[in-house]
């Protein structure tokens, strides 16, 4: 008995067929689950230079060995080749969709090909159908969800769907998963749209096995105790990630006016206190989560009153609020809801709107007729969201390609304030006051991302593993970032709740994994698996055009000094980047060009194809 189902479901939309693939011991032993499965399968199934919108690209919905159990690991991941960046993409979602895949009897779903017309996939345990979705094309994410449930006559079905943005191949469109949880980053929704795939509906009735139930219950109880002792988890229960708005503001890391500034004078109005006053009604949680970091509420007053909303998470509040100089949390909730229904990533969308506002400010771009495109203008932001999602005009089409391509199209000095790493719009953590975060952004495997190792708390706390850390210095940053990246990748194989790792130790994760699967796991196995994944993804990215020159920060963080906050006057210089990057490459076992050495690959047991890169 094990918590793996031992099966992957392969669906070919071009042929209208499905088949079961055995999981295989090598995949389990070397990559555990989730991100690990995705890295290995994407590398093996998607050759270099495959068109992200071509029928040969795959999109995968993957679980981990703890998914569907009582462990705090209810999330899932989407893996594909990103149409926004052209490299590896793994994007994570909470809710209840991922456990339902497991209950249907699969460790993951692999989708390839392209349907001849708009379709959706219906998985009812062992029954797999590809159904007509032409009547759903043009609906938003939530409407599609409701219509499919009515059609299948079961409100308990779990659904992942795209909105109009995915249908129109907006490069930062997302997949909305049950309920109202998003695989947001990198354009997975556009890949579904390119496959004429509107949604995936799943109903499962099978139990998840556990190798040693008594031992597993003890390990889960230990994990819960560790969570209860964590002050970070206590904060999340009270205020969710919205509490990070004022923390980032005080540290000078909160983007304002397209990252020009690191503070926002009205941060409190979009943080937890402002949200509690105007939005929240009660707590909510993903399936089986003991933390319950989310909130459910409604906009009840003001111009935008009359709709239900979740908590406005830190990234959304920062990018659609502070970054655009908008302080009315009800307006921010309205903009976020529009993005959710159209199916667009609020991080990227807030970034490109801020870029467009600055481009108009600098007279590099003409505003659309009748629209005053400037910071603080809610109506202008709303106009751009509509325009981007349906590509209804020139500016919508321009911004739908992301900030990197938009800057290249505009030309001139636009690239100086286009804030992205490897084509993925940067998240809401300006790194000029925390150089380790700068290195983490430079080296992330999917582009600009804060979830591939987050050293900010250690840098601001002044210590990491007994060593003093100066947030502005380059010293001791490479080793810290590598440790955090490896551990993040390792635990993303489970697939764990991000916030569970704030309290749960690596020893406890290993104990839960051992008891669930029957494989003897130690904490070191999780770290080593993370390192193996990181190197395999690096090779995939190198094969698809990444090079050392792309391991860099946006010009705004390099050329412009931070004008406010505790680190006022600081920037991350080219010399800083070179020093940190070369130390990082050396510690990773890569050469000076960021290519993994053969001895590194051999140590990790990685088999890779020979290419021009090598």
392, HSE (Cβ side, Cα atoms, 13 Å): 9
Using CA atoms, how far apart are residues 357 and 532, in angstroms rounded to an integer?
42
> Which residue, 175, 203, 231, sits at the end of a domain?
203
Q: Is 542 domain-assigned?
A: yes
Q: Is 417 domain-assigned?
A: no
Quote the pLDDT of residue 580.
98
Q: Is 482 domain-assigned?
A: yes
pLDDT-based confidence at 164, cuts 50/70/90? very high
Using CA atoms, how far apart are residues 58 and 73, in angstroms rounded to an integer?
24
> What is the phi/psi pair of residue 43, to 5°?
-60, -40
**Domain of residue 68, CATH code:** 3.60.9.10
Q: Which residues contact 247 (CB under 8 A, 6 or more apart)?
A: none
Task: Take residue 256 and report the two structure tokens written for it.
Answer: 């304002």
**DSSP-derived pairing of the beta strands 108-112 and 119-124:** unpaired
Average pLDDT over residues 471-500: 95
Using CA atoms, how far apart are residues 397 and 390, in angstroms rounded to an integer?
8
Q: Is 251 domain-assigned?
A: no
> Does the pLDDT of residue 243 top 70, yes or no?
yes
Average pLDDT over residues 374-390: 97
pLDDT-based confidence at 608, cuts 50/70/90? confident
Quote the pLDDT of residue 587.
98
Q: Is 130 domain-assigned?
A: yes
> Does the pLDDT of residue 34 top 50, yes or no?
yes
pLDDT-based confidence at 614, cuts 50/70/90? very low
Q: What is the pLDDT of residues 168-184, one digit of tens each?
A: 999 999 999 988 899 99
β-sheet bridge partners, residue 344: 173
Q: Which residues contact 607 (CB under 8 A, 6 or more apart)?
A: none
Quote the pLDDT of residue 432.
97
> Does the pLDDT of residue 612 top 80, yes or no?
no
- Which value, in Å, is the radius of gyration of the alpha carbons in the chain? 23
Q: What is the pLDDT of residues 69-121, one digit of tens each?
A: 999 998 999 999 999 999 999 999 999 999 999 999 999 999 999 999 999 99
Average pLDDT over residues 128-154: 98
CA distance readout (Å), 422 to 32, 51, 559: 28, 17, 18
Instruction: For residue 535, give the nearest of 571, 577, 580, 587 by alpha carbon.
Output: 587
> Does the pLDDT of residue 611 top 60, yes or no?
no
261 or 499, higher pLDDT: 261
**Domain of residue 575, CATH code:** 1.10.599.10
SS3 57: coil
Q: Is 379 domain-assigned?
A: no
pLDDT-above-70 percentage for the chain: 99
> Which residue, 152, 185, 203, sits at the end of a domain?
203
Q: Contact, 67 vs 495, CB < 8 A?
A: yes
Q: Is 247 domain-assigned?
A: no
Quote the pLDDT of residue 610.
63
pLDDT-above-90 percentage for the chain: 94
> What integer best gives the mean pLDDT of the chain?
96
Q: Is 210 domain-assigned?
A: no
> Does the pLDDT of residue 327 top 90, yes or no?
yes
> Which residue, 203, 230, 252, sits at the end of a domain?
203
Counting the structural domains of the chain, the total is 2
SS3 233: helix
> Does the pLDDT of residue 600 top 60, yes or no?
yes
Ordered DSSP codes for 536-571: HHHHHHHHTT--GGGS---HHHHHS---SSTTTT--
Quote the pLDDT of residue 605.
96
CA distance readout (Å), 44 to 407, 444, 446, 608, 609: 34, 21, 18, 9, 9
Q: What is the pLDDT of residues 286-304, one digit of tens each?
A: 888 888 899 999 999 999 9
Instruction: For residue 323, give the nearest of 402, 258, 417, 372 by alpha carbon.
Output: 258
Average pLDDT over residues 484-499: 94
What residues make up the domain containing 54? 7-203
Using CA atoms, how far apart are residues 349 and 383, in angstroms rounded to an integer?
12
């Amino acid at each position: 008995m094990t918590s793996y189902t031992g099966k992957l479901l392969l669906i070919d939309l071009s042929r209208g067929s499905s088949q079961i693939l055995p999981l295989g011991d090598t995949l389990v032993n070397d990559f555990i689950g989730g991100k690990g499965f995705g890295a290995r399968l994407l590398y093996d199934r998607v050759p270099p230079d495959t068109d992200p919108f071509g029928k040969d690209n795959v999109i995968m919905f993957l679980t981990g060995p703890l998914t569907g159990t009582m462990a705090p690991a209810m999330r899932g991941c989407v893996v594909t080749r990103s149409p926004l960046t052209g490299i590896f993409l793994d994007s994570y979602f909470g809710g209840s969709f991922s456990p339902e895949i497991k209950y249907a009897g699969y460790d993951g779903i692999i989708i390839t090909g392209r349907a001849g017309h708009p379709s959706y996939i219906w998985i009812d345990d062992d029954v797999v159908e590809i159904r007509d979705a032409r009547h759903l094309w043009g609906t938003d994410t939530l409407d599609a969800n409701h219509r499919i449930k009515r059609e299948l006559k079961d409100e308990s079905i779990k659904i992942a769907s795209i909105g109009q943005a995915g249908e129109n191949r907006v490069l930062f469109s997302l997949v909305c998963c049950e309920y109202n949880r998003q695989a947001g980053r990198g354009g997975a929704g556009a890949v579904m749209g390119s496959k004429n795939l509107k949604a995936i509906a799943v109903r499962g009735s099978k139990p998840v096995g556990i190798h040693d139930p008594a031992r597993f219950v003890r390990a889960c109880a230990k994990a819960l105790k560790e969570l209860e002792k964590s002050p970070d988890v206590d904060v999340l229960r009270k205020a969710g990630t919205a509490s990070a708005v004022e923390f980032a503001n005080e540290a000078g890391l909160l983007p304002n006016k397209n990252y020009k500034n690191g503070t926002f004078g009205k941060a409190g109005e979009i943080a937890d206190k402002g949200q509690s006053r105007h939005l929240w009604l009660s707590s909510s949680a993903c399936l089986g989560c003991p933390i319950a970091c989310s909130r459910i509420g409604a906009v009840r007053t003001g111009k935008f009153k009359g709709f239900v909303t979740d908590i406005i998470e830190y990234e959304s509040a920062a990018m659609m609020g502070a970054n655009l100089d908008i302080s009315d949390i009800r307006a921010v909730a309205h903009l976020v809801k529009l993005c959710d229904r159209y199916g667009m990533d609020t991080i990227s969308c807030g970034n490109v709107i801020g870029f467009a506002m600055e481009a108009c400010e600098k007279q590099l771009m003409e505003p659309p007729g009748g629209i005053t495109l400037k910071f603080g203008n809610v109506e202008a932001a709303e106009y751009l969201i509509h325009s981007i999602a349906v590509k209804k005009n020139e500016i919508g089409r321009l911004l739908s390609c992301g900030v990197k391509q938009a800057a290249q199209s505009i030309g001139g000095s636009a690239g100086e304030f286009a804030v992205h790493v490897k084509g993925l719009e940067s998240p809401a953590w300006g790194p000029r006051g925390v150089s380790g975060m700068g290195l983490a952004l430079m080296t992330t495997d999917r582009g600009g991302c804060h979830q591939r190792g987050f050293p900010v708390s250690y840098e601001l706390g002044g210590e990491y593993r007994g060593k003093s850390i100066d947030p502005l210095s380059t010293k001791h940053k490479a080793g810290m970032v590598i440790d955090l990246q490896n551990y993040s990748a390792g635990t993303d194989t489970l697939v764990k709740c991000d916030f569970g790792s704030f309290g749960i130790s690596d020893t406890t994760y290993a104990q839960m994994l051992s008891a669930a699967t029957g494989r003897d796991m130690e904490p070191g196995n999780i770290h080593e698996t993370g390192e193996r994944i990181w190197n395999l993804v690096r090779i995939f990215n190198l094969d698809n055009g990444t090079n050392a020159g792309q391991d860099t920060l946006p010009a705004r963080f390099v050329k412009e000094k931070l004008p406010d906050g505790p680190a006022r006057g600081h920037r991350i210089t080219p010399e800083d980047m070179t020093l940190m990057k070369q130390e990082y490459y050396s510690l990773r076992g890569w050469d000076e060009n960021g290519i993994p050495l053969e001895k590194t690959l051999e140590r990790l047991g990685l088999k890779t194809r020979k290419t021009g890169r090598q």
